[in-house]
Amino acid sequence: MNLKRIFGAILTLLGIGGLIYAAVLFVNGGAGDTKALIIYGVLGLLFFVSGISLVRTTKDES
């Protein structure tokens, strides 16, 4: 298995976790904790997009 694909999958899972946590903060706190909401949302989106692009661009060599 390719190491880049594994790293891409880990980044994707971290991004999904960050986006879910940002959504939970938004639902529970609303606008009370805006700074944490923005930080977790942006980091989650960044990890998710970079992980997906890493998985897509890595060629599968057997």
- Is the pLDDT assigned to residue 1 strictly greater than 80? no
5 class by beta-carbon count within 10 Å (0-12 exposed, 13-18 middle, 19+ buried) = middle
- pLDDT tens digit sequence for 22-52: 999 889 877 677 888 899 999 999 999 999 9
pLDDT for position 62: 59
pLDDT for position 39: 92
pLDDT for position 61: 72
Structure tokens at 12: 């994707």
- pLDDT tens digit sequence for 47-59: 999 999 998 888 7
